Amino acid sequence: MITVNDIYKSFGKVRAVRGVSFDAPDGKITGLLGPNGAGKSTTLRVLYTVLKPDQGSATIDGSDVVTDSLAARQRIGALPHGAGLYPHLTARENIAYYAKLCGLDKPAVDDRVASIVDLLEIGDFADRRSKGFSQGQRTKVSLARALVHNPQNVILDEPSNGLDVMATRSLRELILKLKDAGRCVLFSSHVMQEVAALCDDIVIIANGKVAIDDSVDGIRNRTACDDLEDAFVRAIEMVEPD
Amino acid sequence: MRTLFTVFLKEVVDNLRDRRTLASALIMGPLFGPMLFAFVISLSIERSLDDIDRTMELPVIGAEHAPNLMRYLLSRNIEVTNGPADRAAAIEAVTLGTHDVIVIVPAKFGEQLADTIPAKIELISDQANTQADRDARRVRSALNSYSQALAAVRLVARGVSPMVLRPIDVDEIDVSTPSGRSAVLLGMMSYFFIFALLMGGMYLAIDTTAGERERGSLEPLLSLPVTRGQLMLGKIAATCVFMAVSLLLSLCSFFVALKFMPLEQLGMTPNFGPDVVAVAFLVLVPFTLLGAALMTLVASFTKSYKEAQTWLSIVLIAPTLPILIVSILTLRPQLEFMFVPSLSQHLLLVDMIKKEPINLLHVAISVVSTLAIGAVLTWICARLYRREGLLG
């Protein structure tokens, strides 16, 4: 369960996030939707404790991301935007490194790495060094790395970026599996269709503010648009500019 | 502690697989320095040694005016050849570098000698040319000793003892030992060791900071349930180990290189046996913490791998400064110097090479102060990693 309570974040003069609030409950998929530069990544970076909000607060399963960041990090698995691997380590070593850092002991590490390699179907290249991996392979390994310790909350920043149709499809299946297992999944995207096909709740962000936080049907109703793309554009227009 | 060890182990394995890191840690620093040093020293020793025995050719104009002098020169291994046509041609030849030194004996030489008027001889050389100047010095000293020999003969002919011209006889007693003399030459080696040490960890320091950020692997790492201090310490520990290995290799390779340097021919016997290698390692190894933390700190501020490389090459030179200042001012080792890292290691190393007794208090101050500064820098690194600005 992720709770975001009126957070603000500026970088110099750029006010990236200006009062974002929403909840991402367990057993549901929450989509963070918005145009480029809307503040999606900044919001997610606050949630996985890499950035500190200037104002407001956020909690992961009740742990504050600023005052109790270590406990919050224990409850999340994060896939940052453009996450990189260690090129000289194999995919399996990359994943095992994270498992060890999450405090798993040796047998548990081997066990978890083996099962996540199966789950994400990366066995073919798991023992190759990640230097020459394609974007899709890299994303899968990064995802495996983020999920290796079975986190209750999963935060994915534009996970489908650079993935082909097959990979996007298996990613979608994985996200649904996580939902069925009662996890809280929060992911960002700028593709309306992708979010609509998957999410129980959609939070549309524009100009650092929440435009709409509702279900797919709720968004259609409130914007009076049947077409999702139109609804997305209408929602963004509802936010006043700076 | 387990987190720290996990990070440490990963960085070691990761970097052992990186050819560039390996090359700079195990080959560039440790082998390049001592080899270059051995090569330059051997070359200059050989040159200065064979100088005296070497027969040099000396073009002389008007050799026929001074046959005795020519015979004397030959006895000093200076072979007289025919010079250019005239004085102008001689000056031109020296200016152009066709000849290094040319001597002109004027026609009146014999006459002046007979009249006991100072007989004039011209020596043409280019004193700005150090190579040529060595030959000129040799000719000059030969001419001077011929002149003195003549003077003695003249005094004896007049019934005066040649001792009249030597009121004082200076007898120099050199207390320097062969090891002490070698320290003059080998003192600069301490910088090579520090250089090798820093080179050994340079790419690690970059890879674990700027490299990790550039690759995009820093952000996911920071979202793991570990403290940033633990991450930092693990990284710095790995850098320290690479630096220590590099240092040990460079000490050993210098030990081997010394065997190929003809230092004994210069009356130098450096005290650099296996025991000195071991002690030097122990004296220098505290510098790894300082070096690793300093390099990590500097690399943390940079935005990219390339930028980090640029700044770290400046850090490579920084430890020479204290050594350089002290050598220029020729200061004697003092207690206060032991508080200055790199300088203290240098002075202790020179003492060892000189085979002088090692002052344990000096060693203690050097070790403790170097470690203390290293610890402070490490602490600053760990603090820095709590800043979000680090993510760029």
Tell me the per-residue pLDDT of A144-203, one tens digit each, with 9 for 90 and over. Answer: 999 999 999 999 999 988 788 888 888 899 999 999 999 999 999 888 888 888 999 999
Are the beta carbons of A142 and B220 separated by less than 8 Å? yes
**A25 & A92 share domain:** no
User: Which of B204, B372, B205 is closest to B295 using CA atoms?
Assistant: B205
Among the candidates A96, A130, A150, a domain finishes at A150
B171-177 mean pLDDT? 79
Q: Is the pLDDT of residue B189 over 60?
A: yes
User: CATH homologous superfamily for B52-165?
Assistant: abc type-2 transporter like domain (3.40.1710.10)
> Residue B167 corresponds to which tokens in the numbers above?
């009121």
The number of beta carbons lying within 10 Å of the beta carbon of residue B173 is 4
User: Which has the higher per-residue pLDDT, A224 or A92?
Assistant: A92
**A55 & A119 share domain:** no
User: Chain B contact for A52, CB < 8 A?
Assistant: yes
**A158 & A108 share domain:** no
A26-31 mean pLDDT? 95
Mean pLDDT of chain B: 86
Chain A residues touching B227 at Cβ < 8 A? 70
Q: What is the sign of the dihedral through the CA atoms of A228, A229, A230 and A234? A: positive
A71-82 mean pLDDT? 92
Are the beta carbons of A83 and B216 separated by less than 8 Å? yes
pLDDT of residue B392: 54
Among the candidates A150, A173, A200, a domain finishes at A150
B290-319 mean pLDDT? 90
pLDDT of residue B297: 93
pLDDT of residue B368: 96
Q: Residue A92 in contact with residue A123, Cβ under 8 Å? A: no
Chain A residues touching B216 at Cβ < 8 A? 80, 82-84
Query: Residue A128 — very low, low, confident or very high, per pLDDT cuts 50/70/90?
Result: very high
pLDDT of residue B24: 78
The predicted-structure confidence for B97-120, as pLDDT tens digits, reads as follows 888 889 999 988 888 888 888 889
pLDDT of residue B234: 94
Query: Domain range holding A40?
Result: 1-75+152-242
The predicted-structure confidence for B336-370, as pLDDT tens digits, reads as follows 888 999 889 988 888 888 888 888 999 999 999 99
Among the candidates A134, A150, A166, a domain finishes at A150
CB neighbour burial string for A180-212, b if at least 16 within 10 angstroms, e if fewer? eeebbbbbbbbebebbbebbebbbbbbbbbbbb
User: Which of A145, A87, A101, A131 is closest to B8 using CA atoms?
Assistant: A101
User: Chain A contact for B250, CB < 8 A?
Assistant: no
A15-20 mean pLDDT? 92
Q: Is the pLDDT of residue A241 over 70?
A: no
Q: Residue B257 in contact with residue B34, Cβ under 8 Å? A: yes
pTM for the model: 0.82
Q: How many CB pairs under 8 A join A and B?
A: 76
C-alpha span between B196 and B193 (Å, rounded): 5
Are the beta carbons of B220 and A145 separated by less than 8 Å? yes
**A23 & A95 share domain:** no
Q: To which residue do tokens 């990963």 refer?
A: B10
Q: Where are the domains of chain B?
A: 2-40+178-391, 52-165
User: Chain A contact for B22, CB < 8 A?
Assistant: no
User: Which of A153, A239, A231, A226 is closest to A192 using CA atoms?
Assistant: A231
Q: What is the DSSP letter of B207?
A: I
Looking at chain B, the whole-number percentage of residues with pLDDT higher than 90 is: 29
pLDDT of residue B243: 94
**A141 & A173 share domain:** no
The predicted-structure confidence for B192-231, as pLDDT tens digits, reads as follows 888 889 988 999 999 888 999 889 899 999 999 999 889 9
**A144 & A165 share domain:** no
Q: Is the pLDDT of residue A78 over 80?
A: yes
Return the beta strands (E) in chain B as ranges: 56-61, 78-82, 101-104, 122-125
A215-222 mean pLDDT? 88
The number of beta carbons lying within 10 Å of the beta carbon of residue B124 is 21
**A113 & A229 share domain:** no
pLDDT of residue A46: 94
User: Which of A9, A7, A1 is closest to A58 using CA atoms?
Assistant: A7
Number of domains chain A contains: 2
Work out the widest C-alpha separation in chain B, in whole angstroms. Answer: 103
pLDDT of residue B387: 77
User: Chain A contact for B387, CB < 8 A?
Assistant: no
**A138 & A172 share domain:** no
User: Chain A contact for B224, CB < 8 A?
Assistant: yes
Q: Is the pLDDT of residue B49 over 60?
A: yes
C-alpha span between B45 and B266 (Å, rounded): 8
B229-240 mean pLDDT? 93
Shortest distance between the Cα of B391 and any Cα of chain A, in A, equals: 8
**A186 & A236 share domain:** yes
Q: What is the DSSP letter of B210?
A: I
Shortest distance between the Cα of B15 and any Cα of chain A, in A, equals: 8
pLDDT of residue B6: 94
User: Which of B18, B4, B9, B30 is closest to B257 using CA atoms?
Assistant: B30
**A241 & A225 share domain:** yes
Q: Which helix (H) or strand (E) holds B99?
A: none
CATH code, A160: 3.40.50.300
Q: In what order do the strands lie in the sheet with A63-64?
A: A14-24, A2-11, A55-60, A63-64
For residue A144, which amino acid is it? A
**ipTM of this model?**
0.93
- Chain A residue at shortest CA distance from B14: A88
The predicted-structure confidence for B9-24, as pLDDT tens digits, reads as follows 999 999 999 888 888 7
pLDDT of residue A242: 61
User: Which has the higher per-residue pLDDT, B49 or B384?
Assistant: B384
Query: Chain A interface, mutation test: which of B224, B231, B233, most A Cβ atoms within 10 Å?
Result: B224
The number of beta carbons lying within 10 Å of the beta carbon of residue B213 is 22
Query: Chain A interface, mutation test: which of B219, B232, B305, most A Cβ atoms within 10 Å?
Result: B219
Looking at chain A, the whole-number percentage of residues with pLDDT higher than 70 is: 99
pLDDT of residue B53: 65
**A31 & A66 share domain:** yes
pLDDT of residue A54: 94
